Amino acid sequence: MTTTLKQSDLIESIAAALQYISYYHPADYIAHLARAYEREQSAAAKDAIAQILTNSKMSAFGHRPICQDTGIVNVFLKIGMDVRFEGFTGSLEDAVNEGVRRGYNHPDNMLRASVVADPQFARKNTKDNTPAVIFTELVPGDKVDVTVAAKGGGSENKSKMVMLNPSDSVVDWVLKTVPTMGAGWCPPGMLGIGIGGTAEKAVLMAKESLMDDLDMYELQAKAAKGEKLSQVEEMRLELYEKVNALGIGAQGLGGLTTVLDVKIKMYPTHAASKPVAMIPNCAATRHAHFVLDGSGPVYLEAPSLDLWPKVDWQPDTQKSKRVNLDTLTKEEVASWKPGDTLLLNGKMLTGRDAAHKRIQDMLAKGEKLPVDFTNRVIYYVGPVDPVRDEAVGPAGPTTATRMDKFTDMMLSKTGLIAMIGKAERGPTAIEAIQKHKSAYLMAVGGAAYLVSKAIKTAKVVGFEDLGMEAIYEFDVVDMPVTVAVDAGGTSAHVTGPAEWSKRIASGEFKNIPLAVA
């Protein structure tokens, strides 16, 4: 039987799915994260997970993005060979990209345009998040099976690929590699692993595996009952346990849960080869699946808000220190200690990759900067545009290590005294922080909508042409951050995992039962 698929149905279905995944986490992710929250013993990690869960429910209720990085779109199409296409004015890719364009420019929930054309040279924002990365497969049948995902840069940038010898251990490679990924991929999340094929096939399988439902708790229950596991299931369980034993924890601060699940896909390979790819999926995991059968566009059913646990994160005004950014001094910054939780109030500046590069170029030419950074704090962020009465859209932190090479310049030549971002800092930045008696503060990745509620006003004050990478001035009230690197150069992302990996190895937590969903 032949099915007729209209161009308008494909476009509308993709646009609707992209809106849907921008504010609804998959139900299986919420279930696994809720169990991780119940089991977590690290105060810092538990607080981070609470922020992510609270942010997720806020986004579901408010129909606003979970994360400010609304991703680059990946579309997987399995097209039945009995499908006929009707009314297509261009290629299949053109239709998919029109769906992306409409999905990202929806007036009620504008999504951030993050895609840049000419990636080596001009790196100019395409303004509508097109083009998508599209994978097409012809299969038997009369339907079109569609999986849509929006992959954020923080996790995508931590992707790894290696050509192992046939006798090499994949498990050993994973355990050696995960610590090098830092926390920029926003754990707790998932690891997708592709084994076999050729280099590009392994990478594709790793990405495809992340579209599968999470079922690690079901797998653990199966193992506990003594049921026979397949070799792949045994490997998944082994990796899950050993990666979590690294003690990296939520946001890299140290804790019991680094991964919620590990997925593995395999394909036959050359006798001399063992290609292996690993791609993490972050706390803002976003993907949806639907089938087009010719009956019209597909609109996914909204999940029940009862799926979310009763976790309502609020700033701890008793244990956290309130900081007035408008009167902040280097002496006060030097008094902060790793792990201190702060509530920031007052005005801060923002800036990320493109702004830092332009500042570097302007300083090299002796040109005047558009803003004065003296005694100011900078927040590494590229916010979503506001809608309705918002001061700004979701505005979570971006990965701080990308700004490491600019840190000494900013601290020595602009008068900047502190920075806010996501995850750890590398040795170059830590050395500069220690040298200039500065500090680095960490905001929770994956809690962008929650963070945005602390921002009361926002205005562009420099480099407006850079779009979401422009320099903004935010006026904030009780914005939650954690001191991640202090003026002495001590990093919570080093001390935290070191402590928790030892505590896990000691067997201290082996009797903590799995939480019930």
Query: Tell me: the pLDDT tens digits for 179-236?
Result: 999 999 999 999 999 999 999 999 999 999 999 999 999 999 999 999 999 999 999 9
Helices (H), 43-169: 43-62, 92-104, 153-156
pLDDT, tens digit, for every residue of 133-170? 999 999 999 999 999 999 999 999 999 999 999 999 99
- Residue 38's contacts (CB-CB under 8 Å, 6 or more residues apart) are 515
Q: Is the N-terminal amide bond of 107 cis, ω within 30° of 0?
A: no
Q: 249: closest CA among 53, 423, 508, 419?
A: 423
pLDDT, tens digit, for every residue of 119-134? 999 999 999 999 999 9
State residue 380's pLDDT score: 99
The CA-CA-CA angle for residues 69, 74, 80, to 5°, reads 155
State residue 512's pLDDT score: 80
Strand pairing report for 341-350 and 377-379: parallel
Mean pLDDT of 342-347: 99
Q: Are 141 and 158 in contact (CB under 8 A)?
A: no
Is residue 284's pLDDT more than 70? yes
State residue 479's pLDDT score: 98
Mean pLDDT of 377-395: 97
- Residue 86's contacts (CB-CB under 8 Å, 6 or more residues apart) are 4, 5, 6, 7
Q: What is the DSSP letter of 422?
A: B
The mean of the pLDDT values for the chain is 97
Q: Are 281 and 287 in contact (CB under 8 A)?
A: no
What would the DSSP string read from start to end of 36-78?
HHHH---HHHHHHHHHHHHHHHHHHHHT--SSS---EEEEEEE
Is residue 395's pLDDT more than 50? yes
State residue 510's pLDDT score: 86
Long-range CB pairs of 242-246 (<8 Å, 24+ gap) are 242/171, 242/175, 243/174, 243/175, 243/178, 243/191, 244/504, 245/501, 245/504, 245/505, 246/175, 246/178, 246/179, 246/497, 246/501
Question: If pLDDT is split at 50, 70 and 90, which confidence band does 294 have?
Answer: very high
Beta bridge partners of 324: 345
Q: What is the CA radius of gyration of the chain?
A: 23
SS (H, E, C) 354-417: HHHHHHHHHHHCCCCCCCCCCCCEEECCCCCCCCCCCCCCCCCCCEHHHHHHHHHHHHHHCCCC
Q: Are 450 and 51 in contact (CB under 8 A)?
A: yes
pLDDT, tens digit, for every residue of 424-445? 999 999 999 999 999 999 999 9
State residue 514's pLDDT score: 62
Instruction: Tokens 């979701």: give the residue.
Output: 394
Q: Are 198 and 275 in contact (CB under 8 A)?
A: yes
Element (H, E) at 481: strand 471-485
Give the predicted TM-score (pTM) of the model: 0.96
* Cα–Cα distance, 375 to 287 (Å, whole number): 42
Is residue 516's pLDDT more than 80? no
* Cα–Cα distance, 53 to 283 (Å, whole number): 10
Chain-centroid distance of CA 262 in Å reads 17
Is residue 517's pLDDT more than 90? no
> Helix, strand or coil for residue 139?
strand
pLDDT, tens digit, for every residue of 1-56? 899 999 999 999 999 999 999 999 999 999 999 999 999 999 999 999 999 999 99
Mean pLDDT of 66-77: 97
Q: Torsions phi, psi of 233, nearest 5?
A: -65, -40
> Helix, strand or coil for residue 297?
coil
